[in-house]
Chain A
Amino acid sequence: MPRFVLVEERLKSRHFDQEITVRRVCGYLSFKLSLHATSVRSILRVLLLVPFASGFGFGHDAEAGPPPNGQAIFLRNCAKCHGEKGEGISAVVTIAGPNLQAEHDTGSAMTAMETGPSHMPSFVYVLSVPEMRAAADYVVNQLAVISLTGGDPSEGGTLFRVYCATCHQTSARGGALAFTGINAPALTGKSAAIIAGAVRSGPGPMPAFPPSILTDKQLNSIVDYVEVIQQPPSPGGSPLNWYGPVAEGFAAWVSVFALVVITGWIERGGKG
């Protein structure tokens, strides 16, 4: 979340576009340098490129034109994976692109385009900042039809255990599936938008839950509960990665072996 806020602030500042440009140059340089790091000559050659590269960058950004069309950019760059309406496209076993219909935050959409989370490529070299912003605006204003208004995490917990935990585990750390070759993923580190979108669209082997099964309010409660369970309190100490009794049994055996070592120390040298 702080990351999104940061991006929002940076968006507002005038220097953001320049920053992107400088980054582009630095990225290019570091790429070049890493390729030819051993050769001094090539470093010099790369240095010679600097004015050209920076000039190209600034020149591109300074270009004035009609305001970018968010829909066109989205259809050209995003719809292949996210679907034309942002409904997400799922391949047989895995997810090509998640559902975007719960994305209500321009900042996080921008961040995703900039950083390219998970399998998604970064669009820093493909789209200019105004273009990215236009695409993000299009997603947030036109495609985001799933409302995220907040709900009751307690009720969400009960629903989560009935509808979701059966695959994703009560602690949302994922579970085994049978034949699809992948397992139900852990829900840690997934944003509310991604989770809500997944519930509605059913990526990969996951069944979809349309509003006739889970109402918007119930969906919001579930999303809220998932946010709780992503970082559940563990007042009792290390949660052993939430693996449950299997890990606990392992820890018990480790301690029994520790006790065996202690008996060895107590009876050191004793030959029975």
Chain B
Amino acid sequence: MTENGEQNNAPQESEPVADRNERNPKRIGQLIVLVVLGWELCKLVARRAVAKAFAGGAAVSGETAAEYPETAAERPKTAADCPETATEHFGSAENTGRAADRNLDPQRDTTTHQQWGMLLVVCASAIALAGGVGFLLIYWTGGNNLLLGVTLAVSFGGLGSALVLYSHWLMSRKEATEPREEMPSGTVEREDFAENFQESEEDIHRRSLLKWIAVPTAGMIAAMVVSLFRSLGRPPDPSLFSAVWTRGQRLMTLDGRPVNVNALELGSTTIVFPEDSIGDEKAQTVVVRVNEQFLQLPKERANWAPMGYVAYSRVCTHAGCDVGLFEKTTNLLMCPCHQSTFDVLKAAQPTSGPAARPLPQLPLYADADGNLRAGGGFSEPPGPGFWGMP
């Protein structure tokens, strides 16, 4: 309803410039307050997070950055010796050649490394937060699709980077190795199961009865469900085969005017419908006026084209799009969907592209007033082909 209201006011829209100017400072004021508040909030949260994280990080490790180069070479060995993590491998650089193993694990415990990591994570989170705040601001102040998308992306992207940076910098990248479960169950398990199953089988008396009940019941339920599909619609009816037009119907343009023999110039075209179903999808017909001398219609259709007016179904025989594209210079009708072309001069036989069948032709004649009328239905049922199509 609101959009209707706005629309009615549309002519006045040029006037309330003053009004807009009045409203603007308020909006800007709100924006500034929100931005400042958001910024303060960000600062507060970031400061607390940094303080907390740094305090924690310093407590975790006593090592300093200076010690790192020496430890780098030695750490892997001690890690491999460590008995409590028999399945955890610190994968030394010599063994695996992994970049991750080479530079991550020994560094991981140094304070500098962790501080860098924290800095990055905090920065990423701050970006995420800023993006989120921006999104809210933009949303509540009117919402521009561009800015909404960008702020949302910044927010999510910040969160994603924060998490990934966390895992890269502040989590151990120990490589765990675990045994997989054997896929086939063990013999004991299987025998146990078989035994159990056998026992429960014995609890069922008259087991064959179960089969006798189950099979027909399941079949019946399936039949019921399947037959419900019948409610979805009607069976294929003769409208599939219908030639749509009947003899004597006038050719009408889209806005309901009859088409006169003088309506078209050579090489021009229009869409026509039977007079009682204007706008109908299946009845749409394209009328082209061509030079009579060039027409090469089959003999039985010789009088279907008075004064060079030829009419064909406008529904493509290939996939049912509208064959609306007419090239005056080549006398080709073309379907814009799959580029099938039909030769207007040769009874709309397909000349290239994927269509196999010609467009059905509509016989025409001119009545005493000079209006064009259909001399019968289409030469074939219009539209794409199907099983049982004549």
Contacts and interface: CB of A to CB of B under 8 A. Distances in A.
B268 to A, nearest CB: 5
B256 to A, nearest CB: 12
A238 to B, nearest CB: 9
B115 interface: no
Looking at chain A's contact residues, the main secondary structure is loop
Contacts of B336: 166-167, 175
B271 A162 contact: yes
* Most B Cβ at <10 Å: residue of A92, A212, A270: A212
Contacts of A265: 164
B324 A210 contact: no
Contacts of A175: 325, 336
Nearest to A167: B325
Interface stretch (A9-17, A26-34, A126-134, A198-206): A198-206
Contact of A92 (B270, B324, B329, B334): B329
B332 A210 contact: no
Contact of A207 (B149, B167, B168, B269): B269
Nearest to A201: B265
Interface stretch (B21-29, B65-73, B95-103, B300-308): B95-103
* Most B Cβ at <10 Å: residue of A178, A204, A269, A270: A178
Looking at chain B's contact residues, the main secondary structure is mixed
B178 to A, nearest CB: 15
A237 B148 CA distance: 11
B168 A210 contact: no
A163 B96 CA distance: 68
A218 B255 CA distance: 10
A268 B329 contact: no
* Most B Cβ at <10 Å: residue of A93, A177, A180: A177
Contacts of B249: none
B2 interface: no
A204 B327 CA distance: 9
Contact of B267 (A92, A178, A202, A268): A202
A167 B145 CA distance: 32
B interface residue count range (under 10 / 10 to 19 / 20 to 34 / 35 or more) = 35 or more
Contacts of B262: 212
B325 A212 contact: no
A266 interface: yes
B352 interface: yes
Contact of A178 (B149, B168, B327): B327
Contacts of B332: 178-179
Contact of B100 (A202, A207, A268): A268
B145 to A, nearest CB: 5
A237 B339 contact: no
A51 interface: no
A138 interface: no
Interface residues of A, number: 32
A235 B145 CA distance: 7
B210 interface: no
Contacts of B269: 207
A271 interface: yes
Given A177-B334, A180-B330, A209-B268, A166 B325 contact: yes
Contacts of B109: none
Interface in A171-192: 175-180
B152 interface: no
Interface string A146-171: 00000000000000001100110000
Contacts of A209: 268, 270
A208 B100 contact: no
A269 B100 contact: yes
A205 B329 contact: yes
Given A166-B322, A207-B268, A271-B98, A202 B145 contact: no
A265 B332 CA distance: 55
Cβ-closest 10 pairs across A and B: A166-B324, A269-B100, A269-B99, A212-B263, A205-B327, A205-B329, A207-B268, A213-B270, A208-B268, A178-B341
Interface of B: 96, 98-101, 145-146, 149, 164, 167-168, 253-255, 259-260, 262-265, 267-271, 288, 322, 324-330, 332, 334, 336, 339, 341, 352-353
19 contacts: A166-B325, A167-B336, A177-B325, A177-B327, A178-B332, A178-B341, A202-B267, A205-B328, A205-B330, A207-B268, A208-B268, A212-B259, A213-B268, A235-B145, A237-B149, A265-B164, A266-B167, A268-B100, A271-B98
